[in-house]
Structure 1
Amino acid sequence: MKFRAEDGSMSELQGIDNNGNPIYYQTDNRGATRTINAHHINTAGSLGLNINGQNMIAGVWDGDAIRISHQEFQGRAINKDGVSFTNYNDNSDHGTHVAGTIIANGININVKGATFQGNAWGNDWNSDTSELASQAAEGLLVSNHSYGPNAEFLSAWQFGAYNFTSRIYDQIAFNAPYLQIVKSAGNDRTTPGYSGKGGYDLLTAASLSKNVLTVGAVEQVTNYTSPASVVMSNFSSYGPADDGRVKPDIVAKGVGVLSTSSFSNTATVTKDGTSIHHLQVS
């Protein structure tokens, strides 16, 4: 079951919690290479490392299959789980945007990804944990999960709570010690109905896993000189976890990020959110 929320985002039914309430996933999103200084490790970067994602694979789980025929992927992206791209929609656009932030080649220089010579294994979010465990066994070293529970269907106690989903992701990470799982923090700080939390204690599910890197969204940082150079977005969800752990773990650009779109093989789109940036920091 899928539906479109008032803000235009898409949600899909993923299961039922222990209280019999529905669990809906919704996409989060956005990122930028310069803010996390990935350009310093790329070819011609200041560190002289020439790291561009060569021979690396990023697992991208999202709401739908990505448009692997986009010119920026140049045969370096596949839909690993067998779900084929069929048409442009909000979820395929989101997944394609995330994949582009990671591996876009830079034919359009404005959407060049942080690992522009890397590869992407696209997957939709159905059966995500079993697929992640399986692909980790195949040697996958980093995965991106730009989605989470739709907060509109959660009870107050579920924010900040380490739950079954949090544990499953930790178990996968424990069993695959070389796998780095990266997760969006979510975009609920200004969601109506949560103002009583003062913007805090809004992380859920996998964002609260102990072995997962959770990423919040900030404005672009062109020239870092001090902590004052980093300006928080007005939507990125804050922690902490109910057990006192500091979350999210890091932040990256999540405001006004231009990347690939599933609308056509050359299309680009600008988005905001906490999803698209995380793999840039892995």
Structure 2
Amino acid sequence: MQVDLEFDYEKNRVKTLAVAKANHLKMKEVLPNGKKVELQEIGEDGSPIYYETYSDDASQTSRASSLHTNGILDLDLDGLGMQVGVWDAGVALTTHQEYDVRATIVDGSSEIDGHATMVTGSLISSGIKKGAQGVAYRANVLSHDWTRDKIEVTEAAANGLLLSNHSYGIKTDRVPDWYFGSYIKVAQDWDNIMYNAPYYLMVTAAGNARHSGDNESPIFGTSADGFDLMLGFTIAKNGLTIAGSNSKIDNKGNLKEATVSAYSSYGPVDDGRIKPDLAGDGSSILSTDAIGNTSYDVSAGTSMATPGVTGALLLLQQYNEQLYGAYLKAATLKGLALHTADDVDAQGPDYKMGWGVMNAKRAAEVLFQKDFSTHISENTLTEGETFSYTVAAKGGETLTASISWTDPASEYINRGDLNNTTAALVNDLDIRITQDGKTFLPWKLNPKNPKAEATQGDNLVDPFERIEIPNANGSYTITVSHKNNLKELNQDFSLILTGVSLTECKINAPSRLALSNALDNQITLAWAETPDGLYEVQYRNENEEVWISEMVTSGIKEFKNLILNEDYIVRVRTFCSQNMASEFSMEYKFTFEGTDTFVGELDMNQVLNAEGAVDFSVFPNPAVHQINLNMVVGESAMYRIVSASGVELKVGPAKNEPIHVEDLASGLYILQIKDQEVYKSTKFYKN
């Protein structure tokens, strides 16, 4: 593919230079507002296609901070060891104090650009200047100019690049009206790159042309309505296109309100696809500037909204690798971002901010809760097959199901037909949810009336579909199928579910711990099990600080090779999925004396709070002079009374007769009984 793109580039470059010379076109220019414009290529219809940066002069907040050290989730995510590509009008000032050695010029370009430097800062600035810290502030940027963007991205993606940021696009006032919303060759090329590199995702700015009036023949209304302004690679099916928003976020990371920025370009795409896909806050951002190594500036626009989203996506890839040892496919990452976006105004997507405002906090929570209350899987649908999955709803919540896939590039490209509605979608997958004969359908939009709210129906154009069922209850069947034939006879897709209950496991600390079967060098610990539970047992010699940890699938664990007359501490916790775990149980301290082993001190706070820790009871309770057991014990049974602070106060034989407590001060106590190899405990009050 890289070789093919190189050939196309050289061929078009010759044509571009010839047309520019014959028509006295400038190859590069700097506009009065400081924007850089460059002639990139000549379109198939002969139109000169100019690239421009999508920013204007003007502060930003990013919810990706929820993932940082001391953030709301306190995940310590910072982008360390991660790489992100930046293509722009030029390259970043890599010597800026905010970057250290984490910004590298890859393509040999020597043209330092202020816009590229600001985008790079929004991604990786370390925060030497307060308020200028980037989203992934320890990541690395690979900086390039935009001249050979497709060729260079192809090579980088083949070498493992996960994300690239493109805060530029075709200049809207220099192309005919039919270009707007059209699936042209540049969109086809980018879709082809992403289809062949399934872990690579392109993130691009939607543009700032809302009030330009440059499209005089939009697919809906008039140019004053602001619809149908997407151009070039912003229309690619497989990438993420980012609108600008003005957002207010509370101190818990919740979106309080959001409106689309006044400059941000609207969709739809001519075939009705949902573009832009997401919104980021690009209202006013402090970032690095190229004037000097300590210079900064403030800017706004979809150019500045885009790196906020790109950086957040990079942190989510870092998080998934930490949790599960692998990166997400691009379709999964894109689907996760669209699935968890904060809806704005009416329910469902729109052609202004797509699926809503990026919510990195919620996306990280969905990753963490995987296989407990969320489901994320990467699957393959073979031609003629149907994928089915039955799940129980988490009662009273919204059940949300999404499918996302990287679609093959369309063989159809527009060559001059105004507002042609031919669908660019190649493999049309469908998601449906059924319950008791009722079928729930995904969201869709109507390009003939882009002001209308989203409806549920058969989505024929988008490579992402989402269904929401408010107040879901009971069991639901999710089905994924396809229409017509599948190119290559199969299609990979990602399935994301939230608001579901995937296990009967309860995240409660194990209770009713008991030691038994003491032998010469081993002893058995048992506890009450929970359905589907996995248990982590930790133990250590009291004289050592490091816990020895082992995982078991049942409520029993044998400890072998213990040393006589040594003191040990043991505790247990429940795992209901890879990450969803309870607190540890009460800590048992015991002295191993072979068959005479007896439980020692307990962590009293955990004993008193442990669900189900009481195995029997005593009466009267509260007691004044004595307590009686409500059970029969053997002749060799022993009792032990421990204070609430863990101090042993009384020890003696439990002879099925009253235990005197009149010598105890008023307060709460724990009574332990050892009857043969069984241990039980309860609490009582002394008046």
Amino acid at match of 2:42: I
Matched, 1:63 2:84: no
Residue 117 of structure 1 is aligned with which of 135, 138, 145? 138
Tell me the equivalent position of 1:281. Answer: 312
Deviations 1:180-207 (A, max 9, x none): 1100000100114447331011000110
Q: Given the alignment of the two structures, is residue 136 of structure 1 paired with residue 157 of structure 2, yes or no?
A: yes
Cα distance per residue 1:158-216 (max 9 Å; x no partner): 11111101111111111111111100000100114447331011000110101100000
User: Using the alignment, how far apart are the partners of 1:51 and 1:206 within structure 2?
Assistant: 30
**Paired residues for 1:151-170 under 5 Å:** 151-170=172-191
Displacement of 1:34 after TM fit?
A: 3.1
Q: Does the 8 Å CA contact 2:179/2:231 hold for their aligned counterparts?
A: yes
Task: Specify the code of the residue in structure 2 equivalent to 1:218.
Answer: S
1:126 maps to which residue? 147
**Structure 1 counterpart of 2:304, one-letter code:** I
**Equivalent in the alignment of 2:368:** none
Which string of whole-angstrom CA distances, capped at 9 and with x for unpartnered residues, describes residues 8-36 of structure 1?
Answer: 3221011100111111100013897734x
User: Equivalent residue for 1:26?
Assistant: 52
Question: Between the two proteins, what is the percent identity of the paired residues?
Answer: 36
Alignment of 1:81-230 (within 5 A): 81-86=107-112, 92-194=113-215, 196-197=222-223, 198-223=225-250, 229-230=257-258
Q: Unaligned regions of 5+ residues in structure 2, if any?
A: 1-26, 217-221, 314-687
Separation (CA, whole Å) in 2 of partners of 1:220 and 1:280: 18
Given candidates 232, 239, 258, the residue that maps to 2:286 is 258
Residue 281 of structure 1 deviates from its aligned partner by 3.5
8 and 191 in structure 1: CA distance in 2 versus 1, 3 angstrom threshold: farther
Contact preservation (8 Å) 2:283, 2:301? yes
Partners of 2:52 and 2:171 within 8 A in 1 = yes
Task: Point out the more displaced range, 95-104 or 171-180.
Answer: 171-180
TM-score using structure 1 length: 0.92
Question: SS at 1:210's partner residue?
Answer: coil
The answer to whether the 8 A contact 2:268-2:275 is kept is yes
Normalising by structure 2, we get a TM-score of 0.39
Q: Which residue of 2 aligns with 1:249?
A: 277
CA distance in 2, matches of 1:93, 1:42: 27
Provide the rounded CA distance (Å) in 1 between the counterparts of 2:34 and 2:65: 33
TM-superposed CA distance for 1:145, in Å, is 0.5
Are the counterparts in 1 of residues 245 and 281 from structure 2 also a CA contact under 8 Å?
yes
Q: Which has the larger radius of gyration?
A: 2
Q: Which moved more, 1:48-57 or 1:63-72?
A: 48-57
CA RMSD of aligned residues (A): 1.8
Q: Which of 282, 298, 301 is matched with 1:270 structurally?
A: 298
Which one-letter code corresponds to 1:181 in the other structure?
M
SS at match of 2:272: coil
| Structure 1 residues 44-68: Cα deviation after superposition (integer angstroms, max 9, x where no partner) | 1122321110110010000001100
- In 1, the alpha carbon distance for the partners of 2:156 and 2:59 equals 26
2:60 and 2:286 in contact (8 A); partners too: no
Cα distance in structure 1, aligned partners of 2:177 and 2:236: 18
For residues 117 and 242 of structure 1, what CA distance do their matches in structure 2 show?
40
The question of whether the paired residues in 1 share the 8 Å contact of 2:136 and 2:312 is answered with no
Name the residue aligned to 1:38: 64
Asked if structure 1 preserves the Cα contact closer than 8 Å seen for 2:60 and 2:284, the reply is no
Offset, 1:219: 1.7
Contact 1:32 1:220 in 2 (8 A): no
In the alignment, which of 24, 29, 34 is matched to residue 8 of structure 1? 34
Moved more, 232-241 or 26-35: 26-35
Residue in 1 aligned with 2:266? 238
Gaps of 5+ in 1: 87-91
Deviations 1:208-231 (A, max 9, x none): 1011000001124333756x7102
Distance 2:133 2:80 in 1: 15
Runs of 4+ in structure 1 off by over 2 angstroms are 4-8, 29-35, 192-197, 220-226
CA apart distance, 1:85: 4.5
Q: Matched residues in 1 for 2:208 and 2:296: separation?
A: 22
1:76 aligns with 2:102: yes
Deviation at 1:4, TM superposition (A): 2.8
Asked if the contact 1:93/1:261 (under 8 Å) is kept, the reply is: yes
SS in 2 for 1:25: strand
2:273 aligned partner, one-letter code: R
Between the aligned partners of 2:41 and 2:174, the Cα distance in structure 1 is 12
In structure 1, distance between residues paired with 2:214 and 2:135: 36
How far is 1:6 from its partner?
Answer: 4.7
SS at match of 1:248: coil
Distance 2:180 2:215 in 1: 10
1:207 partner letter: T
* Preserved contact between residue 32 and residue 101 of structure 1 (Cα < 8 Å): no
Are the counterparts in 1 of residues 181 and 228 from structure 2 also a CA contact under 8 Å? Answer: yes
How big is each residue's C-alpha offset from its partner over 1:57-102, in whole Å with a ceiling of 9 and x where there is no partner?
A: 010000001100000000000011111355xxxxx00000000000
Q: C-alpha distance in 2, partners of 1:14/1:242? A: 23
Query: Contact 1:33–1:114 at 8 Å: present in 2 too?
Result: no
**Greater alpha carbon shift after TM alignment, 163-172 vs 6-15:** 6-15
1:52 lines up with 2:78 in the alignment? yes
State the alpha-carbon separation in 2 of the partners of residues 229 and 179 from structure 1. 32
Q: Return the letter of the residue paired with 2:100.
A: Q
Q: What SS does structure 2 have at the residue aligned with 1:214?
A: strand
- Which structure carries more strand by proportion? 2
Q: Is the 8 A contact 2:247 2:257 kept in 1?
A: no
